[in-house]
Amino acid sequence: MSKVGIVAGSLRKESFSKKIADNVAKLFPEGYTTEMIEFGNLPLYSEEYDENPPAEYTAFRSKLREFDAILFVTPEYNRSIPGVLKNAIDVGSRPYGQSAWAGKPAAIISQSIGALAGFGANHHLRQVLTFLDMPTLQQPEVYLGNSPSLFDENGQITNDGTVKFLRSFVDAFVALIEKYQA
């Protein structure tokens, strides 16, 4: 059984990233479990906390270590990732040399309410994951534009072509995970 942690890069209750994450979680095959990783309670990272971390840091890092792989679903803020997501990444990666992210296969879905579909956020996050030594799924890349139009009133993605594409993305991610578990 493989356990995939899902990090939705927005804290908003009705976040489009969370809705996308919920839809994609259902596409993983038998033998895979998914779980949302909460990070909204993390104090802003400061190196001063490396010696004596807040309880929230310790719990978050421990939770990350439970997962075999990580799926990031993020909006784009100012052509990059949201600050709260970067803070969670920084907290999980420290103290230096003790990253809870290291070696975990990763995949990225970016989205935005506009047509550019989070391209900048996707590529900035890829840069960060490279430094964290997270083998990241290269193809297919997922950029979902005009995200408010993706869902019905129950938060389900309505376009069959989009669901089919996301299923192919999950299949490729599963193959990457299995490659690193071998």
pLDDT digits (tens, 9 = 90+) for 36-61: 999 999 999 999 999 999 999 999 99
First to last CA, the chain: 13
* CATH code: domain of residue 98: 3.40.50.360
Residues facing 47 on adjacent strands: none
pLDDT digits (tens, 9 = 90+) for 75-87: 999 999 999 999 9
Label residues 52-69 b or e (16+ Cβ within 10 Å = b): ebeeebeebbebbeebbb
Would you call the peptide bond into 140 cis, given omega within 30 degrees of 0 as the criterion? Answer: yes
77 DSSP assignment: B
The predicted model gives 162-168 an average pLDDT of 98
pLDDT digits (tens, 9 = 90+) for 109-158: 999 999 888 999 999 999 999 999 999 999 999 999 999 999 999 999 99
Q: What is the mean pLDDT of the chain?
A: 97
In the prediction, which pLDDT does 116 show?
86
160-181 vs 16-25: helix crossing angle, rounded to 10:
70
In the prediction, which pLDDT does 62 show?
98
How many percent of the chain have pLDDT more than 70?
100
In the prediction, which pLDDT does 7 show?
98
Residues facing 136 on adjacent strands: 106
Nearest to 40 by CA among 62, 8, 11: 11
For residue 49, the tally of other CB atoms under 10 A from its CB is 16
In the prediction, which pLDDT does 37 show?
98
Confirm if 85 and 70 have CB atoms less than 8 A apart: no
Tell me how far CA of residue 6 lies from CA of 23, 51, 116, in angstroms. 12, 28, 23
The tokens for 166 are: 């996301």
How many angstroms from the chain centroid is the CA of residue 13? Answer: 17
Verdict on whether the full-model pTM lies above 0.85: yes
Could you give the CA distance from residue 24 to residue 16 in angstroms, rounded to a whole number? Answer: 12
In the prediction, which pLDDT does 167 show?
98
**Structural domains of the chain, count:** 1
Range of the structural domain that residue 12 is part of: 2-181
pLDDT digits (tens, 9 = 90+) for 87-113: 999 999 999 999 999 999 999 999 999
